Amino acid sequence: MKKIFSTRLRVILAASAVLAALIIIFSTVFSSTSVFSNAVGVILSPFRSAASAIANRFEDLYGYMYEFDGIKAENQLLKEQIAQMEQEVRDAESASEENTRLRELLNLREKRSDLQFEAATVVSWDTSNWGSCFTVSKGTRSGVEVGMCVITETGAVIGTVTEAGLNWATVTTILDDSVEIGAMVFRSGDIGVAQGKFDLMKDGLFRLSYLPADAQLRNGDTVLTTGAGEMFPGDLVLGYIKDVGMEDSGTTKYAIVEPAVSFSDLVQVFIVTSYEIDG
Amino acid sequence: MSVTGKLPHKWLAYGGCALLFYILQTMVLSRFQIAGVYPMLLPVVIACVALFEGPEAGSLFGLAAGLFWCFSGGAKNGMYVFLFTVSGALAGLAGARVFARSFKSALLWSVITLLITEGMVFLFRLAVGQLELSALWTVLLPETAYSLIFSPAVYWLVHKIHGRG
């Protein structure tokens, strides 16, 4: 009976298994980006930039044509909100102190002068349905390194740099199940770990785990980074609590958190290249 | 070289085809979810190429596609390198021994290839507790269906390249 798998085919399959194992081992042992990934990323960079520019133009046109009424209504709502906020500013105590909430919206650099960051453009989103990450236009040539925190202009945490090539970097978002960040509920001071979970990722949510069983949490509570372990700067907004529950063990609580970031609207991000560590 | 002459660099053309659909998937379709998922087009390309070119060439093409997918950031580990190679081998064997090189065969093997690659990732993540069984009908099956929308275009292009190679 003629062999189904020829010798040559078996060699190819065996070689692919070995290569796959080597890549898995390399990616597990080393956190740095391989020279092959770097090279592929550099080659793809102009394609990503071109495709992103073209897609943005089409999106703008689509938005203008089909979303005009919605944008107009949102604009009106925002104008009313701004007017209300301006009234709250005028009513605030201590005229000599700048309104910190408006600062968060308007000027990240003044609020967090301890942060140094590199602005980057989102050029492509990872289309794997099992994770949440995207590629940005800056890399090691701009001082970007693996492990750096990525935020928005308002100081909301997007995720972390997981790969860095010469002129590109991969950012894995806080929704991805590989990301864990030390977190704190601002109102109560309870400490936990912000973790991405696959089943929550599809809903655009993540989980705050290992909270004390007696933690007093409320929907809408702000969740911040703790800065513990010096992996992330502290006091950056992760999101807002949406739901609270008790773990099956009964010894800790968890919270479902809605990110402060709207991932679908991301065009420009800020990679924190250095920051001052308290203490 | 005449317009109807053979393509001297058939495999470069296949590579260009894979790159084209990779760019389409990652840089255009990444903005358009259907049923909350994105398509996965490389397995469709691998299935079509392997169907026309046989098991050995198909597996090598799958290996190259897997390495490219891995190093371009499409996968976080090397699992796809092996899965794409196996898929290419199986689709190539099917095309060489059993199935005609028709669009129906390409469609069938695109489904099988997608289920082999993404299905193995699903099973692995299910086994380690990273997701629940519901991901089968919320992610895997919709992703397969969305990807198949592009199979006519993939098949047509691969058929053309093969015919002129």
Contact A19 B78 (CB under 8 A): yes
For residue A26, the chain B residue with the least C-alpha distance is B77
Residue A229, burial from CB neighbour count under 10 angstroms (0-12, 13-18, 19+): exposed
pLDDT for A15 beyond 60: yes
**What's the rounded mean pLDDT across residues A38-42?**
84
Percent of chain A predicted with pLDDT > 70: 86
Cα–Cα distance measured from residue B162 to residue B165, given in angstroms and rounded to the nearest whole number: 5
**How close is the nearest chain B Cα to the Cα of A253, in Å?**
20
Smallest CA-to-CA distance from B55 within B84, B91, B30, B92 is with B92
What pLDDT was estimated at residue B8? 61
Query: Could B73 and A133 be called an inter-chain contact, meaning their C-beta atoms sit closer than 8 Å?
Result: yes
Q: Is residue B155 within 8 Å of B48, Cβ to Cβ?
A: yes
- Higher-confidence residue of A35 and A92: namely A35
**Which SS3 state, helix, strand or coil, does residue A122 take?**
strand
How confident is residue A109, by pLDDT bands cut at 50, 70 and 90?
Answer: low
Other C-beta atoms closer than 10 Å to the C-beta of A76 total 10
Which of A9, A23, A27 has the CB atom closest to B56's CB atom?
A9
Tell me whether 0.90 is exceeded by the ipTM: no
Interface with chain A: mutation pick from B19, B44, B71, B139, highest number of A CBs within 10 Å: B71
Cα A22 versus chain centre, distance: 29
As a dihedral over the C-alpha atoms of residue B96, residue B99, residue B103, residue B108, rounded to 10 degrees, the angle is: -110
Question: Which chain B residue is nearest to residue A177, measuring alpha carbons?
Answer: B130
The pLDDT assigned to B160 comes to: 93
Q: Dihedral sign, CA of A264, B34, A46, B79?
A: positive
Query: Any idea which residue has 């069938």 for tokens?
Result: B108
Q: What is the pLDDT of residue A1?
A: 43
pLDDT of residue A218: 92
Q: What is the pLDDT of residue A95?
A: 46
Window 10-69 of A, Cβ < 8 Å to B: 12-13, 15-17, 19-24, 27-28, 34, 36-37, 39-41, 44, 47-48, 51-52, 55, 59
Residue B78 has its nearest CB partner, among A15, A23, A124, at: A23
A16·B79 Cβ contact <8 A: no
CA angle (A241, A246, A247) in 5-degree steps: 115
Predicted local confidence at residue B1, as pLDDT? 39
**Least reliable range by pLDDT among A50-54, A92-96, A185-189, B31-35:** A92-96
Write down the pLDDT at residue B163.
87
pLDDT at residue number A278: 56
Q: Compute the average pLDDT of residues A246-251.
A: 88
Pairwise CB contact (< 8 Å): B139 & A51: no
Q: Which of A123, A129, A171 to mutate to test the interface with B (most CBs of B within 10 A)?
A: A129
DSSP A162-208: EEE-SS-EEEEETTSTT-EEEEEETTT--EEEEE--HHHHTTT-EEE
The encoded tokens of residue A103 equal 């600062």
Contacts of B149 (CB under 8 A, 6+ apart): B39
Mean pLDDT of A237-257: 93
Higher pLDDT, B107 or A63: B107
A128: contact with B, CB 8 A cutoff: yes
The mean predicted confidence, pLDDT, of chain B is 89
Q: A173 vs B129, which has greater pLDDT?
A: A173
Average pLDDT over residues A109-134: 82
Indicate the range of A35-39, B44-48, B118-122 predicted with least confidence.
A35-39
Mean pLDDT of A66-93: 74
A interface mutation test: which of B22, B25, B26, B53 has the most A CBs within 10 A? Answer: B26
**Both tokens assigned to A279:** 């203490």
Give the pLDDT confidence score for residue A32 in this predicted structure: 66
For chains A and B, CB pairs below 8 A equal 136
Identity of the residue numbered A9:
L
Residue A37: its pLDDT value, please?
83
Q: Which neighbouring-strand residues pair with A118?
A: A271
